[in-house]
Structures are given as C-alpha cells and as structure tokens.
Amino acid sequence: MIWEAYPRRTEKQPSHLECILNSLTGLNELNVEATRRIMKDVARRPVSRYELEAIVNSIYPRLQSWIVDLPRCIQDGQSSVPHIFLLHMYYHTTIMVLFGLLKTPLESSERTRLISPEEARETCIDSALQVAHMIRMHRTKWSIEYISAMAMHWVAIALFTLLDNLDEPRSRDAFVDLCFVARVFSRRWLLAKGILRMIQITAEKMNIQLPTETDTLLDDFSVNSWDVDKDARRLSSAYPNFILLAQRVSALGNTVDDPIDMDEWLAKWDGEKARTPDGRQFEIIAGLLPPCA
C-alpha cells in the first residue's frame, strides 16, 4: 500500500499500514494491562510505591521487547512517514506515564525495591527527548501544520515531563521546541490551548522559571490567544494535569478533593481572573459545580 502526503502530494512512499496496525495493537494491549493493574481499585485509592514499582517493572521489559521486535521497516530511522513517528511517540509517552508515577522523591518511610526515583526520572527524560527529536524530524520533513491531532497528547506529556528538568540544557532546548509546537497546535485545537495554559500555570505554581526563549511566545499566547472567559468555559474534557495525576495515583502532593481535570483545574487556578463583571465565579461546564445562572 502506498502513502502520499496530503494535501501536498509531494512524494509516494510505502505506507507500512499493516505493520503499524499489528504493532499498535500490541502496544495498546500493554497500555490497557498497565492501566487496569494501576487503576484496579474502583475507589481510586492510591497505589503503594512498591505495587507501582512491581507493575512498571513487569510491563517495562515487555515494552522494550515491543520496540526491539518491531518489523524492521518501521523501526526508528527506517522510514519517515508520519504515522511511524506517531507510533514511536506513543511508545515513549507510555514510558513517560508509567515511570512518571515513580520519579517523586521517596518519603522517609519508603524505600526503593525495584526502581529508584532517579532511574524513573532519567527514563522519563530520555523518552521526552525522543518525542522532541521525532517532532523535530516531522517538522523538518512534513511541517508541523499537517501533523495528526494525536501528537498533541505526546507533546503534552513530554512538556510536563521536561518541566522540572529545565536546568539541564538538552531538556531546556527540547522544552523550548515543544512549546513552539504546542503554540502552533493551540491555534488549531482548543484542547491544545488548554494544555498550554496548564503548562504555564503549573510552572507558576511550582515556582519553575520557564526558559526566556518561551517568554515572547507565551506572552503572545496569553494576550492574543487565551481567553480565560471564552476558551476555558468551552473545555469540558477529563484531560488531566499529568503531574497532579501522577501524584494522585501515588498519594503524594495534592489531596483527593483537589481537581486534576483540565476544566476544573483551570477554573480553580485561572478562576480569579475569570470573574465576570457582575461578580459571578468561573463557569465549569463538565465539572462538579453548577453552571452559572
């Protein structure tokens, strides 16, 4: 089967769709298994550190086998069709999500048995850098305007992963590149706007100094693009703040009652600015609060 770029019909290439579909199914199976094991408690009680380590430790070797056993034609560097980049970014995002649950420093009562926070952190950053690398390749080859909407999720998790490692130059460079890409996405997709706003506010709340290279971009986004009244009210997804989700699963940081979903979280932290002239509080469409009268 042949693939060609759309709408710019520049070149024809083998699509590898069959190879990708089979491999995607295998990766989905691993994701579903990991999610079920981590979220098996319907009451959503936090999972113990050791239990999380055991789950990640059993899934990770299978993820590594998955990437090694990919058909040669869709291995890294073999083809530049966009859906192969997306498949690899999905793999790296899976790793960032799983190891992201284990990178918080240990409590005094905890000890590492299988995976240390440092190891988890390094593994997450390596994968975030890989996502940035593949986005750069996609951008060079096909431009970023024609990328699939799925890329928004991989970029979001990579941005959250790099956020607390900006002192390291390679992370900082990758973060700046991905911020630029997220800004492009935000012009097209409302969800990407919400993600970019979450990154901005999360950095502020965590006292993280964002790279100066992103100042102009983020200022422009805040002033000319993000409309706290109009945009945030339209967000109704259960898209989580990834850093807080990781803390929730492992019982660190915020309390169970604190919001982690994008709409409620933005409403809480952007809410003060969203008061309407008549003093009404921010409206949450899909959250727990009733809509404004």
Which of residues 22 and 276 has its CB atom nearest to Zn ion in the complex?
A: 22
268-287 residues near Zn ion, rule: CB under 5 A? none
> Mask 10-39, x = binds Zn ion (CB under 5 A)?
------x--x--------------------
> Mask 59-78, x = binds Zn ion (CB under 5 A)?
--------------x-----
Looking up tokens 């790296």 gives: 92
Least Å distance, CB 18 to Zn ion, is 7
Least Å distance, CB 137 to Zn ion, is 18
Least Å distance, CB 71 to Zn ion, is 5
Which of residues 83 and 103 has its CB atom nearest to Zn ion in the complex?
A: 83
Q: What are the tokens at 267? A: 């409403």
Least Å distance, CB 4 to Zn ion, is 16
Least Å distance, CB 240 to Zn ion, is 34
Burial class (CB in 10 A: 0-12, 13-18, 19+), 118: exposed
Query: Using the rule CB under 5 A, is 288 a contact of Zn ion?
Result: no
Round to whole Å and give the CA distance between 205 and 197.
12
Round to whole Å and give the CA distance between 283 and 289.
8
How would DSSP label each residue in 97-142? HHHHTT-SPPPTT---SS--HHHHHHHHHHHHHHHHHHHHHHHHHH
Contacts with Zn ion: how many residues (CB under 5 A)?
3
Find out whether 89 and 153 touch, Cβ atoms under 8 Å.
no
The answer to whether the Cα torsion of 258, 46, 208, 157 is positive or negative is negative
Which of residues 73 and 238 has its CB atom nearest to Zn ion in the complex?
A: 73
Positions touching Zn ion (CB under 5 A) are 16, 19, 73
